[in-house]
Amino acid sequence: MKNFEKKTLMKQQKAKRAAFTGALAAGLIMLPGMLGSTPALAQKVERGDSLSYGELIRKTENKEVKRVELDETDQVARVYLKGQKQDAQPIQVRLLEQNAELISRLKENNVDFEEVSSANGRAAVGLLINLMWILPLVALMLLFLRRSTNASSQAMNFGKTRARFQMEAKTGVKFEDVAGIEEAKEELQEVVTFLKQPEKFTAIGARIPKGVLLVGPPGTGKTLLAKAIAGEAAVPFFSISGSEFVEMFVGVGASRVRDLFKKAKENAPCLIFIDEIDAVGRQRGAGIGGGNDEREQTLNQLLTEMDGFEGNTGIIIIAATNRPDVLDTALLRPGRFDRQVIVDAPDRKGRLEILQVHSRNKKIDPSVSLEVVARRTPGFTGADLANLLNEAAILTARRRKEAITQLEIDDAIDRLTIGLTLNPLLDSKKKRLIAYHEIGHALLSTLLKYSDPLNKVTIIPRSGGVGGFSQQILNEEMIDSGLYTKAWLQDNITMTLGGKASEVEVFGEAEVTGGASNDLKVVTNLARKMITMYGMSELGLVALETQNSDVFLGRDWVNRSEYSEEMAIKIDRQVRAMATTCYQEARRIIRENRALVDRLVDLLVEQETIEGEQFRKIVSEYTQLPEKQQLVVSG
């Protein structure tokens, strides 16, 4: 059926080309006839004053004629009289068929005369006019034929690889330009050594790895690492995206894979970089209806080329993905991707190194401490940190400063994590309500022993409907490792409920707003994880839930419940009991420090932002700070 459609399409294209060529030929045939009368018109226009034949002979005898041009073709004599101006036009005289008498009289009176023919000039003018029309039409016809030829050649090259090839990749990136992921760099430096000095490893029986899979969240530097490998290795380099293999026509993806490896074998040793390999390497037979057959055939061809009956020598494949869980198991086995390099978000030391790399070409004030910036940005990837410094530079230029200061960096962090700053609120009940809500969060963050210390609290609104926020200095060790303690989780839940607790204690149940809706989602999520995943409840040391799986990513058609309905009821009761306990504790702390809350609210309404150090100093005047906060103050 597809061959029939292709043949029909080719016949239609041939018919169009034939019709176009016929129209051009007809136009070319008609043009000479249409333009043949043009010289005659020009001739008619050129006719000016004239003499009779007899008058010409008489003037010749009277010595009044200076020169005569005899045009036998047009039967015209062009006469130049004595006394005419230098630029005057000649006088036209109609000749007879036989002009022997005129010629003899001209000879007797010594008049200069010559025979000329206008036929050659007229033919040249006609040819020039015809060419002025013919040449553009011929050029248009050649352009049409060329496009038709290109279309047919593209059809022939449909199954060719679209990989970008560089004999020696000039990416401009070296390993020294990659920071914050030292473990991944060490493993990938061995790949460069394999390519440059293979005998160092083969001499002791080591086999060169066939593939390296870079796994990590978006923005951590996977593609940057591949560029660094290409820049260091100085070998032929192919780069392609996984989505460029797959087309709507069956067999095209597999053909492109074959063509890619064919070219790679011709240039071995070489590197092949496949970005976003999950676009073509997802699990086979997954999803509804068995999945995409074309994608599966492309994956089958890729598996065969990487480690099939015929091996590939000297070809190292580097692939990148942020979804390793959806890749086919046959693709991940040793012999295809021998190594899986985890490129994770950097720690504090790595963030500092990344900030130093991206600050090379920026004017930064000497007072700025990149160490402080690295401490304030746990969880940021390399791309996030690059964007952070770029936003700070934009703010600096907008404020017409000479160099980036700490203020611009702090504002850039808030803009990226919370939102764009809006106009401050006017003094009103809404402003004081938001102030009490945020002071509730900030005060509990300061007084709870295991919560993270306060960085600042503000009631300046942000884009996205944020009326204000209370910002903490996050515990980077806990966040980077993912090892959350039970005390930290409970205090975090209590602090999150501090805003609602403050509203209830100050304005009463009837005046409570819906501003805590997002807080309740955070509380429910944390409490549920403590009960069902971390085993921090009376239900015991059991994992009752796992991460959600998507049926379209090769998972089960039905999400099976990990527990019975009776256990689900117990889980809901535990979640509610934990949230209620923390909420009552938050209300108790707010109630006991009501005078302190009112003073902090008045100050916040006046200043609109209170920094952490100033906040802790005021709180210490009313009550003793926990040990962890005293350490922050003394530091």
Beta bridge partners of 94: 76
Instruction: Give the residues across from 273 on adjacent strands.
Output: 239, 318
* Cα separation, 100 vs 570, whole angstroms: 134
Q: What is the 3-state secondary structure (H, E, C) of 25-36?
A: HHHHHHHHHHHC
Helix axes 498-507, 429-447, angle to 10 degrees: 130
Cα gap 236→230, rounded to integer Å: 8
Report d(CA 112, CA 311) in Å as an integer: 95
* Catalytic residue (choose from 232, 244, 305, 438): 438
Within 533-626, residue ranges assigned H as helices are 565-592, 594-607, 612-620
- Is 438 an annotated catalytic residue? yes
What sign results for the dihedral spanned by CA atoms 86, 90, 91, 93?
positive
Largest CA distance in the chain: 142
In which residue are the tokens 């006088």 written?
A: 91
Q: Measured between alpha carbons, how far is 518 from 515 in angstroms, rounded to an integer?
A: 7
Query: Cα-flanking dihedrals φ and ψ of residue 113, to 5°?
Result: -145, 155
List the structure tokens of 9: 């399409």
Residue 302 to residue 280: CA distance in whole angstroms: 9
Rounded to 5 degrees, φ, ψ at 148 are: -65, -40
Q: Could you tell me if 404 and 393 are in contact, meaning their C-beta atoms sit under 8 angstroms apart?
A: yes
Of how many residues is the chain composed?
A: 635
| CA 610 to centroid of chain Cα atoms | 39
Q: Cα 350 to the chain's mean position, in Å?
A: 25
Q: Is 273 helix (H, G, I), strand (E, B) or coil?
A: strand
Measured CA angle at 179 (ends 215, 322), to 5 deg: 15
CB 124 within 8 A of CB 132: no
Which 8-state DSSP code applies to residue 423? P
> d(Cα 73, Cα 374) in Å, to the nearest integer?
97
DSSP string, 471-488: EE---HHHHHHT---HHH
Q: Which of 605, 618, 616 is nearest to 460 (CA)?
A: 605
Exposure class string for 173-184: b at 16+ Cβ within 10 A, else e: bebeebbbbeeb
The DSSP letter of residue 511 is G
d(CA 577, CA 20): 82
Q: How far apart are the first and last CA of the chain?
A: 78
Dihedral sign, Cα of residue 449, residue 454, residue 457, residue 462: negative
**Residue 122 neighbours by CB under 8 Å, 6+ apart:** 39, 43
Q: How far apart are CA 492 and CA 387, in angstroms?
A: 29
Among all residues, which ones are annotated catalytic?
438
